Structure 1
Amino acid sequence: MGSVGTPVIRRIVQVGRGPERPEDLLASVGLRADAPASSWAGESVDAEAYYGLIERVAGADDHALPFRYAEALRADDFGALGLALKTAQTLGVTLQRLMRYILVLSDTLEYALVEEPGGQRLELNGRPHHRRGAAMANECALAAVVSMLRQAAGVHVRPQAVSFRHPPPPTATPHQAFFGCDVAFDAAHDAIHLPAAVIAQQPRLADAGLSAYLLAQLDDLRARAADRSLVAQVRGAVADALPDGQPSKTQVARRLGMSERTLHRRLADEGASFQTIATQARREAAEALLATTEHPLADVAFLTGFADQSAFTRAFKRWTGQTPTAYRAAGVRAADR
């Protein structure tokens, strides 16, 4: 699984309006309310725990949570990255920097800038939308980008359109109010569509000299963030892709920016194999979904990359010695004690 920086978690809890106490929400993901906030490049929380937290904070009816989160963010929260975004020569360069250095903030985020008629779209790639919390996390991510662009430009930047892959919520009024444009759901991409005039706009604090200094710092931070075990990177890439089917070694290698042959060799150097890691990622995802959601078994099978429920049941029993139904029931009994 991927991970998310704890300051993101704290900000989500800060803007929540539900009945649960902030300290209880933080404790549910292993954080203390009185601990000093860690840096954006520091401590992190498992992505599934993050999605679950969003679901608890938002409850059933708070569809505006992602946009209060985005409005509460300040570019300075991102340290050197935030200042590098504000000092770029154009907002297009701001987006390029975000794409390059996003690993400093979270290893669940991956952006691509794609040319399209009249402008460009910034796509959020590799993030699942298999549960409500994951879908809302994607809304948080794109809303945060728009918030950063507005702060960099010093004006109310308005996208041409915004699209999400997940189904529409009961109301899209908060989405349209924040973005100020049409918002599509069940779309091909999680993306912000930006006109050429916005891409070419100059940030208020554009400064080539300061940018060069900041980029050197960010290159160091990025190298340290990327230095984690390749096994962990592969496990995270597989887990994030499972809702769209089990990814092949070629697909994972491409996402990690290397050839399949290089991936095979580097895993062998760590004493690991792609198949073993992929199987472990599927098992962990299945156990998490059975323990923390009420999805029907057919949905759990689909979300862990299986073609049907019977194949999932056979595999799960081989992994754990229990059927998925028995595993879920045992977890419920343990929680009731």
Structure 2
Amino acid sequence: MNQPRVRLGDLSVGFIQSLAQAVRNLEHDPGALLEQYGLDSARLSEPGARLSIPRYMRLGHAAIQLTDNPALGLHMGQCSRLGEAGLAGVTAAQAPTVREAARTLIRFEPLYASNYRGQSSFHEDSQGAWLRFYSISPYNAYNRFVVDSILSGWLAQLSNLAGTTLLAERVEIEFEAPVYASQYQALSHAPIVFEAQSNQLRLSHASLNLRNQAHCPSTWRHLLQLCEKELEQLTRTRSLRERITQLLGPLLNGGREPDLEEVAARLKLPTWTLRRKLADEGTQFRAILNDTRRDLAMAYIRDTELVFGEIAYLLGFASAEAFQRAFKRWSNQTPGEFRRSQRQTARVPTAR
């Protein structure tokens, strides 16, 4: 238990700007709600300030209840600006084209947001490109707005850069069509595809090639260098154990557990080299896997209302029973006992 506690993720408080503006646009005052979550003007002005993913989801759900608008995430996206993503967003705003702005925003995502479940990605082919947001399933009233705000936000941010309204050629979303499904149509020329394999939108080459009239080559290059330095610093300060822990999150999902060979391949190391390096650090892959599962399990139970079967699936267990046995071994408590003990000290309702 001497290792740093695994977190589900966090993001820049800059994202609160679009949430607050969306609430105002829906004719409600977000002030009291933000105060409840400790997000006063001083906190929102603090350089580098971050908000945990569970707390962000609770805040978003509370804002949806305040406005009585389940499509709040789509409104948030429409209000979002590149500057809310900090240095990465300011850099993207200086990109020469929509293509480079999208690449920049996604490449430097770790500078403004992190989630153990994965990272967004940009996939270009001969016809266009997919902008893909990673899976955060299972979906519920607390996290659908995150997907909505990201996909809608990408289009709004890139439209502002291009000086014209961009529509996606196709939008795919993992969860089933919600009650406000018709409101997604403002994002795309084509019908929205729900219950898809990924959360993603597709832009044509014509859209990707649009120029940014505010582009200044020297400023763009300078900002890119600053982003590269910050990203390198993030990577350099991670130990091998931390890098493995970061890899395990996305690999665990789906009722299966990754093995040493799979992780070694992701790290671009021979299996024997990874085993030796871990031995040099006084640990083994199995120990890191168990510690990661334990810490993520505690975070899920403490910070969300996911049922134990869902948590078991997210952590690569074959069944809820196998997960509950492992958790009892780790903590001398059942998952239910641990959740009840945590609820006694919780001050804000947790998010499912």
TM-score by length of 2: 0.79
Cα distance 1:243–1:154, how it changes in 2: closer, same or farther (>3 A)? same
Cα distance 1:314–1:202, how it changes in 2: closer, same or farther (>3 A)? same
Cα distance 1:10–1:254, how it changes in 2: closer, same or farther (>3 A)? farther
Cα distance 1:300–1:103, how it changes in 2: closer, same or farther (>3 A)? closer
Tell me what 1:184 maps to.
193
Tell me what 1:104 maps to.
111
1:324 and 2:324 are equivalent in the alignment: no
Tell me what 1:217 maps to.
226
Cα distance 1:79–1:299, how it changes in 2: closer, same or farther (>3 A)? closer
Which residue, 10, 13, 17 being the options, matches 1:3? 10
Cα distance 1:48–1:248, how it changes in 2: closer, same or farther (>3 A)? farther
* Sequence identity percentage: 23
Distance in 2 between residues matched to 1:206 and 1:240, nearest whole Å: 36
1:128 and 2:136 are equivalent in the alignment: yes
Cα distance 1:130–1:251, how it changes in 2: closer, same or farther (>3 A)? farther
Tell me what 2:292 maps to.
281
Counterpart AA for 1:289: Y
Tell me what 2:78 maps to.
71
Which residue, 45, 50, 57 being the options, matches 2:56? 50
Q: Secondary structure at the match of 1:15?
A: helix
| 1:158 Cα deviation from its structure 2 partner | 0.8
Distance in 1 between residues matched to 2:282 and 2:37, nearest whole Å: 36
Pairing 1:187-266 to 2, within 5 Å after superposition? 187-230=196-239, 231-245=241-255, 246-252=257-263, 258-259=268-269, 261=271
Which residue, 288, 299, 308 being the options, matches 2:319? 308
Distance in 2 between residues matched to 1:304 and 1:153, nearest whole Å: 41
Distance in 1 between residues matched to 2:252 and 2:59, nearest whole Å: 21
Distance in 2 between residues matched to 1:32 and 1:75, nearest whole Å: 22
Deviations 1:30-65 (A, max 9, x none): x555435234xx232333333333233323953322
Counterpart AA for 2:245: R
| 1:267 Cα deviation from its structure 2 partner | 5.2
| 1:250 Cα deviation from its structure 2 partner | 4.8
| 1:198 Cα deviation from its structure 2 partner | 0.9
| 1:311 Cα deviation from its structure 2 partner | 0.6
> What RMSD in Å do the two structures reach over aligned CA positions?
3.2
Distance in 1 between residues matched to 2:178 and 2:88, nearest whole Å: 32
Counterpart AA for 2:224: L
Cα distance 1:130–1:102, how it changes in 2: closer, same or farther (>3 A)? same
Counterpart AA for 2:202: H
1:12 and 2:19 are equivalent in the alignment: yes
Counterpart AA for 1:244: G
1:26 and 2:32 are equivalent in the alignment: no
Counterpart AA for 1:223: E
Q: For the Cα contact (< 8 Å) 1:298–1:309, is it kept in 2?
A: yes
TM-score by length of 1: 0.82
Tell me what 2:169 maps to.
160
Distance in 1 between residues matched to 2:163 and 2:91, nearest whole Å: 15
| 1:219 Cα deviation from its structure 2 partner | 1.4
Distance in 2 between residues matched to 1:140 and 1:24, nearest whole Å: 22
Cα distance 1:279–1:32, how it changes in 2: closer, same or farther (>3 A)? farther
| 1:22 Cα deviation from its structure 2 partner | 2.2
Distance in 1 between residues matched to 2:274 and 2:19, nearest whole Å: 36
Q: Secondary structure at the match of 1:188?
A: coil
Q: Secondary structure at the match of 1:62?
A: coil
Tell me what 2:5 maps to.
none
Tell me what 2:3 maps to.
none
Cα distance 1:226–1:13, how it changes in 2: closer, same or farther (>3 A)? farther
| 1:13 Cα deviation from its structure 2 partner | 4.8
Q: For the Cα contact (< 8 Å) 1:63–1:174, is it kept in 2?
A: no
Q: For the Cα contact (< 8 Å) 1:250–1:259, is it kept in 2?
A: no
Unpaired runs of at least 5, structure 2: 1-7, 348-352
Tell me what 2:4 maps to.
none
Q: For the Cα contact (< 8 Å) 1:164–1:184, is it kept in 2?
A: yes
Distance in 1 between residues matched to 2:329 and 2:204, nearest whole Å: 52
